[in-house]
Structure formats: structure tokens, C-alpha cells
Structure 1
């Protein structure tokens, strides 16, 4: 199954997504929400992945980003019994539409509400990161592990995706983040940020808006590489979660170091959705 999905993801990336890169006409890009674009490549990629994945696993269902945009109730399928595919047909659409990299194709298989496997393909780099629950994480066929030590807050580098953070919390987090070794707003592509933690290119990531197609594939990869993926209150992240706020770290100690640096007075109060 891993190899078959890998072949499908690569095929869709090469035949549907990449041919549209830097070749989109104005009528092939639209705004589905303020600052949130969708392109013809997103739509065609999701259709191809949906058809291919359900053929590989009869009886399975798909939760795709564009299907949820058209019908929000589709997201409720994530928690269904049985096999559920979670699909981000083009992760980093704004980059893709602007003719920039990175952008990825991401797929996760969820069984009975828990991640079972994940695939993230960096389309232009043609670099594939995969994970299977209990079997580890691999990048281009080589097993990857997060770093095992905690060098201290001033040596840790990562991403704080503050685009959707409420204003007061954003200001507080950015001020406290001065105690870390370095941070950026990221590359606007979760498919880049998660593997970067799994391979120690960076040691942490903080995100506010939590959508399953953005975070389920990467969360399994980071955990299988030895990392930690939790909400800001310390609860383990699960595919069915709607709660805002997520802190990803290379290991348990780094999670607590980054969390304590960003939130010295304890986790922020978060209104339920």
C-alpha cells in the first residue's frame, strides 16, 4: 500500500500539479476566503487523488481540502470508523499561485480516527517523506530521526506561524520568542515545516489554525521520527481535533523548553470553536 500510494502521489504531482506551475492564467486562480487561494491544479489534483485512493482501498472515504471548502460537513468524516484518506492536493497554494516554492502534495491514511500512514511530496524538489505508524519515518528512502538532545532555548530555531494568531497573543508570543535562538514566519507550507523538524533543519514549529489536511500527515511523520505534537495545553494532537493552537517539537525536552519560553505564565486561554 505504501508503494502504491507513493506512485499515485508522484504521478498526480508530475502530470497534474507541476505542468501548471508558473503557467496559471488569471481565470485559473480564485480566492475562496480572504488571503486563501485555490487554483485549477488544487481542484484537478484532488479529483485525481480521490479517484486513485478510493480505488486502492475500496470502501474508504476521502476528506480533501477542496471538498471541505465546498461542503464543510465532509470534515466530519475524519472521525468515522474504518479507513479515511486526508488529502491536501497542493499544500502551499499561495506559493504555487505566485510561482514560488515550496509547495507539496500531502496524503494521510487514518484508520478508526488514528493516523496510520502519511506521504509528503515536495513537488519541485521531488523529495518524498513518508511514515507508517510504528515503523518510523523516511525521507527519500533514508530513515530520519529528530535530534535527541535539548541544547537550550537560545540554540533552538523554528517557525512561529502567526498569520492567524489573535493580535494580543501574537504580540506576546513574538516578544517572548526573543528568548529562542531564532524563528521565522515559515515558508507558508506545512509540508515543508514538518519534515524540517523531522530532519533537524529546525527544532520546533507553532501553528494556530489547525486543519487536518495541513497537520495530520506531518504530525505522524514527526512523531515517527521521535518528535512531539501537542496542543498548547499539552494535550496530544489527534486528527479529529478542532482546537486552535499546536506546538511541534523535535523531542519532549525541546517541547517544554519552547513552550516555557513562549508561555512563561502557562498556556493561553483559548475560546472553544
Structure 2
């Protein structure tokens, strides 16, 4: 058995779902539930949720179909999905249970999608014993599928993905930072503060670019499992480092955690960014 199969005494590789079947389900449902509605949403297919967020018929139908398909691949598995949680917050408790859990964001970047912007994706993570063992992120616009298994790396259709050497200084790093933080950091009189900061409004696409080195770092303050479970795995398998700045703890899927979470090319860059980007 491989080292990852022995980690923590857990046997994981033998109990993973069929990756090709998962990819096929994600692609099919995106083709049938998401893409036909892109730039074609009717007024009754868009609704408001809490905190100013919106939900569309594409979100709801994509999650419904994914739940049906994915639980069929793994007997006794359950789902924690973004829209399911919005209807019943108690389903978050499933992440603390014994059953395998599919964590689903059926349409990440919903507002971009509703505005007709080509910046959205589907995110799926597979969690066992509180650990993310596999993940998938799919951009249906580009037909770009990224997949990772813990201990086996992260891959796309071109092959394995590994981060290269980090930029020489924090100043030239490109990263994802929220709008208010960008404004505050831009006002700092410190030439080591990164100056190229963006936000996609699509966390899944940011994680794809973090794994590929197109983004050097990211900072998040409110981590929901459907947004981050798969992406944190991708970045780690590509060779990156991430942790909460308050206590240095790694991300673990569970209830929404608030607090500064910093993602960087390696541990050394993480500490440098933490120092030049104080809260």
C-alpha cells in the first residue's frame, strides 16, 4: 500500500470513487443544466439569498443532479452542497460523521454567470474521516477539468501540475485579495507590499490559477467548505503552502471558519506575505 493509504492509519486509495465517472457526471450536468442557461436566464430563474448573494436555476438543478449522480457512485455517501445548506444548515454536521461526504459547489461564481461573464465553474470534493481525499474543479467554458487525489498530485488534461520557483520578491507577486483589503494595502507606505492584486469572484477558478502559478498567493477571510475543500488540496498537491495566520492551522473541511487564511507558493513566501500584509 502507498504512503498516502497508510497516512493516519487510513485506507483511502482503495475506497475512492471512480475519477473518470465523477468527471463524466460533472461534464454532463454542466452541459445540460448550466451552459443552456448561460446568458439565457429568465427573470424567474434568479433569486436572492442571504448576505446579498444570488441563486439561479442553474445552481439548484446542477446540485440536484450532482447529488443524484455522485451518491450513486459511492454507497452510503452523503452530500453537503451550497444550496442544500442554504435550505437546511444542519447538513453541515455530515462532515463530522462517518459516512463519505461529497462537498459540492454546483456553480461557483454565480454572480459572474448571471451577469454573462465567462468566469464560473463547478467544484466537487470527496471527504472521508474529515479529510479531503479527492477533488475536481471544472470550467465548462474552456472544458478545463482539474483533478487531484491526496498523495497523488494534481492534474489537468495536459498532465501533472507542479508549482515552479516563486517570484523573487513579494512586490512582484500577483494575488487574490478582497476589495477593501486591496484598498487598505495600497495605502501602505511599504515597497514590499504586492501591487498586483485582483479578485475573480470565482474561488474555484482562483484555485486553478493558484495551482498553475498564474496567481502567486491568495487571502480569504470566510471559508466555506464547498468553496475551499477541493482547491486547498489542489494547491498543496502542486507544492504550495497555506494556513490560517492566527494560529498556523491548516484548512479542514467543516463549518464556515472566519479568519485570515493565506495561500502562498511555499512556507517561506507565506511568512513574508504575512509580514508585509498585516491585518
- TM-score normalised per structure 1: 0.90
- Conserved 8 A contact 1:197-1:204: yes
Structure 1 runs not aligned, ≥5 long: 164-168, 269-273
Decide which of 12, 19, 31 is 1:2's aligned counterpart. 19
Decide which of 181, 204, 208 is 2:217's aligned counterpart. 204
Q: Cα distance, 1:77 vs. partner? A: 1.2
Decide which of 201, 217, 228 is 2:230's aligned counterpart. 217
**CA offsets 1:218-270 (integer angstroms, 9 cap, x no match):** 0110011011121122211111253312111121122112111102xxxx5xx
- Map 1:70-109 to 2 at 5 A: 70-109=87-126
Q: Secondary structure at the match of 2:257?
A: coil
- Conserved 8 A contact 1:146-1:251: no
- TM-score normalised per structure 2: 0.88
C-alpha separation in 2, matches of 1:112 and 1:7: 25
Q: Cα distance, 1:197 vs. partner? A: 1.0
Residues 132 and 252 of structure 1, relative CA distance in 2, 3 Å threshold: same
Decide which of 43, 60, 67 is 2:84's aligned counterpart. 67
C-alpha separation in 1, matches of 2:199 and 2:151: 29
Q: Secondary structure at the match of 2:141?
A: coil
Q: Cα distance, 1:184 vs. partner? A: 2.8
C-alpha separation in 1, matches of 2:143 and 2:182: 34
- Conserved 8 A contact 2:169-2:192: no
- Conserved 8 A contact 1:149-1:253: no
- Map 1:1-273 to 2 at 5 A: 1-162=18-179, 172-176=184-188, 179-233=192-246, 234-240=248-254, 242-244=256-258, 245-263=260-278, 268=279
Q: Secondary structure at the match of 1:201?
A: coil
Q: Cα distance, 1:189 vs. partner? A: 0.2
Q: Secondary structure at the match of 1:23?
A: coil
- Conserved 8 A contact 1:229-1:248: yes
Q: Cα distance, 1:90 vs. partner? A: 0.2
Q: Is 213-222 or 147-156 further displaced after alignment?
A: 147-156
**CA offsets 1:103-147 (integer angstroms, 9 cap, x no match):** 001100001000000000011111011110000001224111123
Structure 1 residue runs of 4 or more that deviate by more than 4 Å after TM superposition: 169-174
**Alignment coverage as a number of residue pairs:** 259
C-alpha separation in 1, matches of 2:150 and 2:82: 23
C-alpha separation in 1, matches of 2:167 and 2:115: 37
